């Protein structure tokens, strides 16, 4: 290892946690970094790292007047999204990974990774980032340690998770278990070799070992591939922990809704990637007297409280939102949070006055920009200025409408769960499930047209159970069984009601049937009124949909035809849908829970009668 010996490492390390020290030494011996740095999470450290990143050309400082303490990064054009085809769940048995995951035997994968990581940090600093997902003073804090050779990852992790000295001290004092999360961009530097702005490797591997609860990521410096506390830990590994410990790790926003009567409700909502979770989480209601506050926009850890109520916590500390489509018109709350600064933008366009821009940010398009690949750009260029999956990474506590309960380790009681897809047809604006199992059936068949958040084709319908398809860390059939089994832990009076929603249905003319954004508060209101037994619904074979008059449409600029197109249950569409669900369920084989097979049979017989 470069200029550092393992004994010096042990002497200098700010911890006595033996397993951590042994792992750090083992990784350093394998990857051969020039130096090792223990991340303390301080502001000075952040300032130093970002200065170094600016000097290296990785970050561009933004205009401090408009975007204080903020930076833009531009990735390698081949490193712009999660790489699902290179994401693996390496359980001992292939069946435990299931059909939704790529699998390789752990020993074989470790052999491959050992070869890739040998010397992979040469010429670089190896950063050790102690982090905790969720609250440090949670009853059972979930620790992780990411080792990375990317300072951009360190800076981004500082926004997205609780990191640094406090975490390491508690981890050490408790001699606690931690998830080892090893990351390398896979671009060692030979002596004298000049670095590039965005080092990465065409060979990318995002690997999870669920039994060991460990993560290894190689070759990418981008988002969820590299910030290992996010999708890798808080969803894939946490879903396995949750299965074993009786809780749920979900791809959901959490919001607090206050009625005109000043009663608080909490809603958890699962939407596939890039379907507007951040917009819903930060929604400004259009209906009088209702207020929304946010607790989270992407990940939700839920467990039952002592009274059998389901409680939700957002384990993250930041937003890693899709930039395009986030604008002063569509999401002013996100824009205000971003405008406070302290943010890192990736793959957005630059304005001539040192700001950032992306499609949908402002009504007026700037006359000139530098696009995300560094080229001059004008509205006539005929291509997007920002990458469709460009991101803003912003501390969550910069959101003005952040609910104070975000800071409570015990979380909030969930009253309603929404499963939402992006479908042009078939799925009504909102449907209430008949009961918990029927709600899980809805979640298990959730479907959406694909977007740019993941590499691959855009616009293809894919089933996405609970919006967790890329994130379930074990067999998807067992995951659905786990959801079903959890109702046994609940107080039936306190079990959340489940709703299926679709903001994206089209009219026969092809336009959106529902305006979405702030108007979605009307759907939230209907859901709450159903919980309170105050709103009417029609029972259909697929569940309860609003009667014409039960959805608050006061002041809503939507025609009767559009409303009908949004709400209609159309049996002929559901004949096709049921057949498609049958095909989807065939993938699960023996692992499909019998309760869900019974739900599908029930749906088919209701459609037939
Ligand atoms: O992780 C990425 O790099 C892009 S995808 C993403 C980022 C933040 C939140 N959610 C997602 C997602 O794909 O669901
Ligand atoms: Mn997400």
pLDDT(7) > 60? no
The answer for 252, left when phi > 0, alpha when psi is -120 to 50, beta otherwise, is: beta
Closest approach atom of ligand 1 to CA 81: 3
Residue 431 has pLDDT above 70, yes or no: yes
Q: How far is the CA of 33 from the centre of ligand 1 (A)?
A: 29
Q: How far is the CA of 450 from the centre of ligand 2 (A)?
A: 13
Evaluate: CB of 320 within 6 angstroms of ligand 1.
yes
Question: Is 388 touching ligand 1 by the criterion CB < 6 Å?
Answer: no
* Cα of 120 from ligand 1 centre, angstroms: 26
- Å from CA of 223 to ligand 2 middle: 11
Is the sign of the CA dihedral 147, 153, 154, 160 positive or negative? negative
Whether 275 is catalytic: yes
> For the segment 372-427, what is each residue's pLDDT rounded down to a tens digit?
999 999 999 999 999 999 999 999 999 999 999 999 999 999 999 999 999 999 99
458: confidence class by pLDDT, cuts 50, 70, 90:
low
pLDDT in tens, 153-166: 999 999 999 999 99
User: Is residue 6 over pLDDT 60?
Assistant: no
Kindly identify the ligand whose nearest atom is closest to the C-alpha of 321.
Answer: 1
- Atom 14, ligand 1: residue with shortest CA distance: 273
**What pLDDT is recorded for position 305?**
95
Task: Looking at the CA of 456, name the nearest ligand.
Answer: 1
Q: Which residue has the tokens 């790489």?
A: 83
**Residue 273 near ligand 1, beta carbon < 6 Å:** yes
pLDDT at 548: 79
What integer pLDDT is reported at residue 542 of this predicted model?
A: 98
Ligand nearest, relative to CA of residue 394 = 1
pLDDT value at position 264? 98
Q: What percent of the chain has pLDDT over 70?
A: 97
Please give the pLDDT value at position 454: 59
**For 536-556, how does the pLDDT look when each residue is reduced to its tens digit (9 = 90+)?**
999 999 999 999 799 999 999
Mean pLDDT within 171-180 = 98
Judge whether 524 and 284 are in contact, CB under 8 Å: no
Q: How far is the CA of 564 from the centre of ligand 1 (A)?
A: 33
Q: Relative to the alpha carbon of 230, which ligand is closest?
A: 1
Protein residue closest via CA to atom 3 of ligand 1: 223
How do strand 71-73 and strand 59-61 relate by DSSP bridges?
antiparallel
Report the residue among 82, 156, 317 best suited for mutation to probe ligand 1: largest number of ligand atoms under 8 A from its CB: 82
Q: What's the pTM value of the predicted model, to 2 decimals? A: 0.96
Nearest to 531 by CA among 416, 379, 372: 416
Cβ atoms of 119 and 133 within 8 Å: the answer is no
Q: Taking Cα atoms as reference points, which of 373, 395, 401, 335 lies closest to residue 161? A: 395
CA nearest ligand 1 atom 12, residue:
273
Quote the CA–CA distance of 444 and 439 in Å, as a whole number. Answer: 9
Q: Which token pair is 60?
A: 């561009």
Atom number, ligand 1, closest to the C-alpha of residue 251: 14
If we measure between CA atoms, which residue out of 271, 276, 183 comes closest to residue 229?
Answer: 183
Tens-place pLDDT, residues 184-214: 999 999 999 999 999 999 999 999 999 999 9
What is the pLDDT at residue 213? 98
- Is the Cβ atom of 453 under 6 angstroms away from ligand 1? yes
How much is the pLDDT for 455?
A: 59
Q: Measured between alpha carbons, how far is 310 from 305 in angstroms, rounded to an integer?
A: 6
pLDDT band at residue 12 under the 50/70/90 scheme: confident
Q: Is 271 in the pocket of ligand 1 (CB under 6 A)?
A: no
482 vs 374: CA distance, rounded Å: 48
Q: Quick one: pLDDT at residue 515?
A: 95
Ligand 1: nearest atom to the Cα of 273: 14
pLDDT number for residue 272: 87
For β-strands 71-73 and 344-346, DSSP reports them as: parallel
In ligand 1, which atom is closest to the CA atom of 223? 3
Is it the case that residue 302 has pLDDT exceeding 90?
A: yes
Measured by CA distance, the residue closest to atom 8 of ligand 1 is: 320
More confident residue, 176 or 276: 176
Determine if ligand 1 sits within 6 Å of the CB of residue 319. Answer: no
Q: Residues of 386-425 as b/e, b for ≥16 C-beta within 10 angstroms?
A: bbbbbbbbbbbebbebbbebbeeeebbbbbbbbbbbbbee
pLDDT of residue 1: 44
Kindly tell me if the per-residue pLDDT of 149 is higher than 80: yes
- Determine the angle formed by the axes of helices 436-444 and 476-485, rounding to 10 degrees: 160
**To test the ligand 1 pocket, which listed residue (153, 223, 235) has its Cβ within 8 A of the most ligand atoms?**
223
For 571-608, how does the pLDDT look when each residue is reduced to its tens digit (9 = 90+)? 999 999 999 999 999 999 999 999 999 999 999 999 99
Q: What is the pLDDT of residue 461?
A: 75
Nearest-ligand number for the alpha carbon of 448: 1
CA atoms within 13 A on the CB side of 579: 6
Of 90, 200, 275, 393, the catalytic one is 275
The reported pLDDT for the residue numbered 9 is 66
* Residue 222 Cβ contacting ligand 1 at under 6 Å: yes
**Burial bucket for residue 64 (CB in 10 Å: 0-12, 13-18, 19+):** exposed
d(CA 320, ligand 2 centre) in Å = 9
Q: What is the pLDDT of residue 276?
A: 82
Ligand 1 pocket, mutate which of 231, 345, 451 (most atoms under 8 A from CB): 231
**pLDDT at residue 4 above 90?**
no
Residue 45: burial class (beta carbons within 10 Å; 0-12, 13-18, 19+) = middle
The mean predicted confidence, pLDDT, of the chain is: 95
C-alpha 392 – ligand 2 centre gap (Å)? 13
| Ligand 1 pocket member 298 (CB < 6 A) | yes
**Cβ(160) – ligand 1 distance below 6 Å:** no
CA–CA separation, 191 and 195 (whole Å): 11
Distance CA 275, CA 3 (A): 48
Specify the 3-state DSSP secondary structure of 472. Answer: coil
Residue 2: pLDDT band with limits 50, 70, 90:
very low
Q: Choose the residue to mutate in 161, 320, 347, 458 for probing ligand 1, maximizing ligand atoms within 8 Å of C-beta.
A: 320
């Amino acid at each position: 290892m470069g200029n550092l010996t393992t004994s010096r490492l042990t002497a200098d390390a700010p911890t006595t946690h033996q397993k951590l020290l042994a792992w750090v030494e083992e990784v350093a011996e394998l990857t051969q970094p020039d130096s090792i740095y223990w991340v303390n999470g301080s502001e000075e450290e952040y300032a130093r790292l970002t200065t170094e990143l600016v000097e290296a050309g990785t970050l561009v400082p933004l205009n401090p007047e408009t975007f204080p303490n903020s930076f833009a990064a531009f990735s390698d054009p081949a490193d712009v999204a999660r790489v699902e085809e290179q994401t693996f769940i390496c359980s001992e048995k292939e069946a435990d990974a299931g059909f939704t995951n790529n699998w390789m035997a752990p020993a074989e994968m470790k052999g491959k990774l050992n070869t890739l990581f040998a010397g992979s940090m040469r010429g670089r600093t190896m950063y050790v980032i102690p982090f905790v997902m969720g609250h440090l003073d949670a009853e059972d804090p979930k620790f992780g340690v990411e080792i990375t050779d990317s300072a951009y990852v360190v800076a981004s992790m500082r926004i997205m998770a609780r990191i640094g000295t406090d975490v390491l001290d508690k981890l050490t004092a408790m001699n606690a278990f931690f998830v080892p999360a090893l990351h390398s961009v896979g671009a060692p530097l030979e002596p004298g070799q000049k670095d590039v702005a965005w080092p990465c490797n065409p060979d990318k591997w995002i690997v999870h070992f669920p039994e060991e609860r460990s993560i290894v990521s190689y070759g990418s410096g981008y988002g969820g591939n590299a910030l290992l506390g996010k999708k890798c830990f808080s969803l894939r590994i946490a879903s396995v922990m949750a299965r074993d410990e009786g809780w749920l790790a979900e791809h959901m926003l959490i919001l607090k809704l206050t009625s005109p009567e000043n009663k608080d409700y909490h809603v958890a909502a699962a939407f596939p990637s890039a379907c507007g979770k951040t917009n819903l989480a930060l929604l400004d209601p259009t209906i009088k007297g209702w207020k929304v506050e946010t607790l989270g926009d992407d990940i939700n850890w839920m467990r039952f409280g002592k009274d059998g109520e389901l409680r939700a916590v957002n384990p993250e500390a930041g937003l890693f939102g899709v930039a395009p489509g986030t604008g002063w018109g569509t999401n002013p709350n996100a824009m205000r949070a971003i405008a406070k600064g302290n943010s890192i933008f990736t793959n957005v366009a630059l304005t001539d006055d040192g700001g950032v821009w992306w499609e949908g940010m402002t009504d007026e398009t700037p006359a000139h920009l530098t696009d995300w690949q560094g080229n001059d750009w004008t509205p006539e260029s005929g291509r997007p200025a920002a990458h469709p999956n460009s991101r803003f990474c912003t501390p969550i506590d910069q959101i003005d409408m952040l609910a104070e309960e975000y800071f409570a380790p015990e979380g909030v009681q969930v009253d309603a769960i929404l499963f939402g897809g992006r479908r042009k047809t078939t799925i009504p604006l909102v449907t209430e499930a008949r009961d918990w199992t029927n709600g899980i059936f809805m979640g298990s068949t959730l479907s959406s047209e694909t977007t740019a958040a993941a590499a691959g084709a855009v616009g293809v319908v894919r089933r996405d159970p609970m919006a967790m398809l890329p994130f379930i860390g074990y067999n998807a059939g067992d995951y659905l069984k786990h959801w079903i089994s959890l109702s046994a832990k609940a107080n039936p009076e306190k079990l959340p009601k489940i709703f299926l929603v679709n903001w994206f249905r089209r009219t026969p003319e092809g336009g959106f049937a529902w305006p979405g954004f702030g108007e979605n508060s009307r759907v939230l209101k209907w859901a709450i009124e159903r919980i309170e037994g105050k709103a009417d619904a029609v029972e259909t074979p697929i569940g309860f949909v609003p009667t014409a008059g039960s959805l608050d449409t006061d002041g809503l600029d939507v025609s009767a035809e559009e409303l009908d197109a949004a709400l209609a249950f159309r049996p002929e569409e559901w004949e096709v849908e049921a057949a498609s669900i049958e095909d989807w369920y065939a993938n699960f084989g023996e692992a499909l829970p019998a309760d869900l097979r019974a739900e599908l049979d029930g749906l088919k017989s209701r459609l037939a009668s």
